[in-house]
Amino acid sequence: MKGLPYPADGFNHAWRNALLYSEHTWGAWCSISGPERKETLEQWAVKRGYATKAAAQSQTLLSEALSQSKGNQVSEQFTVVNTLSWSRSEPVTLSRERSASRDKVLDSSGNALPTQRLNHGQLLFLARDVPPLGSKAFRIGAGGSTAPKQMVSVGQNTLDNGVLRVVVDAKTGNITELRAKGVPGNLASQGGLNGYAYLIGDDPSHVQANGPVRISIGENGPLVGSLVIESSAPGCNLLRRELRLYANEDCLHLINFVDKQRLAAKSYSAKDGKESLNFDFPFNIPDGDISYDTQFGTAEAERDQLPGSCKNWLTVNRWAAVASGKLGVNLVALDAPLMEAGYLSATLLNSQTNPDIWRKHINRTQRLYSWAMNNHWGTNYRAYQEGATTFEYIIQPFAGRQNPAATTRFAMASAQPLLVSSDASEIRPVFTLNNDDILVTGLKPSEDGKATIIRLFNASPKSASARLKFGRRTLHALFFSDTGEHAKDKADTRLTLPGNSLTTLRAEF
């Protein structure tokens, strides 16, 4: 909300609760041997409380920032906020209440934008050219919807938007055909993409797939089309996989919902008390290699791993890629950061101290497994998992070489969608950058209240230069800074950052 002070205490409290929840040793010593013991249940209740508090606090902060907490009055005027440092054109969803059953959205120049009324009553529209670190004004207008030039077509088991074509197998629900304009061949390998793979114990030959599927049309275009694939599945009360394709976009959205059953076991230390739930992505990329993003960097499986590092699973920040230099695919994982390469190799049950049983090499492979859920641990965590959980993935094919900076932008945008604000006045950015490979990963008032802290990440593996252009306020001084937010050496508005480097600046106005 414009004009309000930065709620530093609110953010600090939310971060504190998030960090206390994620601290991995906070659990009962008897959580596996005695999952229903008093100590186990009490300590889990405390640990869970940190997560629920952090979630509620973050939602309050977001609602206040977007002016959604002031009364129930809905205005025709609103803005779309871009929290990232490059201009974006993406679909945005308005609530049923805000759109008030009117299907037309106009920009500030009066141009009608493509819209679609969704099945649950929300209104989807395409917001174009929302400025970096700022917002753009729109309004709801009277009249019908406007179709995009290239519409999404939905068949009984197909999706097509003119850029991507998707075919789903009628028996398994897996994606058996994925074709992209300008990219040769079918990118789905044998068995199909997004397959369900459930394993009890540690023998991958015993992996189980889902049961027969029911495929129905979800959204029917023209701006978004989707297929809903429902089935029984071992370990679940229900498996529902929805595939969404938006007009003009070069990526496919996968929304995998599992209603997880609790595994009933006499002993959660025994093999038959251990389970894992995976989604299978065998890509058809001849001679392709796997790379993935780490925290502020990129690594290639096997080649960039230190001797003795874990090969049984890979920890990705937001994305993994399979690429050959001629073509490839990016796989964004928004909810499941663990991947297995080639086969189900995350099969080390309980605590493992023998180094000989760990995987030694990752041979060239084009197959990724998302290790979505498991109870393989030997202590601290709950012995079982149950309940409704959603795992979202996004597949983006490409021609040519893989571009880590572009993929990082794509993944960040997937994790930080454009936001709708009730404030009708547009936000002008504090500054802009003229190089999209250099990303703003932090922008906040300093703790002493005398400056603005800016954190920049060069997402390219190569050195890159950029100029910061300050527009809203007059810059007095710019310094390099540290984690304590102190002013160090003077900095210029023209910067050169080494590849995959992080730089912190202190701007005083």
CATH number of the structural domain spanning residue 500? 2.60.40.2220
Which helix (H) or strand (E) is 19 found in, with range?
helix 8-22
Taking the C-alpha atoms of residue 147 and residue 223, their distance in angstroms, rounded to an integer, is: 7
State the total domains in the chain: 3
65, 89, 112 - which closes a domain: 65
Do 479 and 402 lie in one domain? The reply is no
Taking the C-alpha atoms of residue 504 and residue 467, their distance in angstroms, rounded to an integer, is: 15
- Check: CB of residue 322 under 8 Å from CB of residue 407: no
- Domain assignment of residue 172, yes or no: no
- Check: CB of residue 337 under 8 Å from CB of residue 317: yes
Residue type, 463: S
Do 389 and 459 lie in one domain? The reply is no
- Domain assignment of residue 136, yes or no: no
Query: Which tokens go with 334?
Result: 């928004």
pLDDT for res 75: 75
- Domain assignment of residue 236, yes or no: yes
Do 447 and 368 lie in one domain? The reply is no
pLDDT for res 106: 96
Closest CA to 365 of 347, 344, 391: 344
pLDDT for res 36: 94
Do 451 and 394 lie in one domain? The reply is no
- Domain assignment of residue 487, yes or no: yes
pLDDT for res 348: 94
| CA max distance for the chain | 69
**Exposed / middle / buried, residue 55 (Cβ in 10 Å: 0-12, 13-18, 19+):** middle
Verify cis geometry, omega within 30 degrees of 0, for the bond prior to 222.
Answer: yes
Do 322 and 442 lie in one domain? The reply is no
- Domain assignment of residue 373, yes or no: yes
Do 338 and 373 lie in one domain? The reply is yes
- Domain assignment of residue 474, yes or no: yes
Taking the C-alpha atoms of residue 361 and residue 355, their distance in angstroms, rounded to an integer, is: 13
pLDDT for res 390: 98
Between the CA atoms of 80, 84, 85 and 86, what dihedral angle is there, to the nearest 10 degrees?
-60
Each of the 509 residues of the chain gets a pLDDT tens digit; together they read 456 789 999 999 999 999 999 887 678 899 999 999 999 999 999 999 999 999 999 999 999 999 754 444 557 899 999 999 999 999 999 999 988 879 999 999 999 999 999 999 999 999 999 999 999 999 999 888 999 999 999 999 999 999 999 999 999 999 999 999 999 999 999 999 999 999 999 999 999 999 999 999 999 999 999 999 999 999 999 999 999 999 999 999 999 999 999 999 999 999 999 999 999 999 999 999 999 999 999 999 999 999 889 999 999 999 999 999 999 999 999 999 999 999 999 999 998 888 899 999 999 999 999 999 999 998 888 899 999 999 999 999 999 999 999 999 999 999 999 999 998 889 899 999 999 999 999 999 999 999 999 999 999 999 999 999 998 789 999 999 999 999 999 999 999 999 999 999 999 99
pLDDT for res 69: 43
Do 367 and 471 lie in one domain? The reply is no
Reduced 3-state DSSP string for 190-251: CCCECEEEEEECCCHHHCECCCCEEEEEEEECCCEEEEEEEEEECCEEEEEEEEEEECCCCC
Taking the C-alpha atoms of residue 454 and residue 442, their distance in angstroms, rounded to an integer, is: 6
Do 226 and 341 lie in one domain? The reply is yes
CATH number for the domain spanning 198: value is: 2.70.98.30
Do 318 and 406 lie in one domain? The reply is yes
Do 369 and 479 lie in one domain? The reply is no
Do 398 and 457 lie in one domain? The reply is no
pLDDT for res 101: 78
In the sheet where 464-470 sits, what is the strand order? 431-433, 464-470, 494-497
Q: 355 by DSSP, 3-state: which?
A: helix
Angle at 346 between CA 341 and CA 351, to 5 degrees: 150
- Domain assignment of residue 371, yes or no: yes
Residue type, 275: E
pLDDT for res 70: 46
pLDDT for res 352: 86
Taking the C-alpha atoms of residue 194 and residue 90, their distance in angstroms, rounded to an integer, is: 24
- Check: CB of residue 298 under 8 Å from CB of residue 289: no
Buried b (16+ CB within 10 A) or exposed e, 82-94: bbbbbebebbbbb
Assign 3-state DSSP to the chain and report helix, strand, coil percentages, each to 5.
15, 40, 45
- Domain assignment of residue 472, yes or no: yes
**Backbone φ and ψ of 148, nearest 5°:** -70, 160
- For the entire predicted model, the pTM comes to 0.95
Boundaries of domain holding 443: 431-508
Taking the C-alpha atoms of residue 358 and residue 347, their distance in angstroms, rounded to an integer, is: 10
pLDDT for res 62: 94
Residue type, 20: L
- Check: CB of residue 413 under 8 Å from CB of residue 327: no
65, 84, 108 - which closes a domain: 65
Taking the C-alpha atoms of residue 173 and residue 353, their distance in angstroms, rounded to an integer, is: 39
Do 281 and 378 lie in one domain? The reply is yes
Which DSSP state fits 168?
A: E
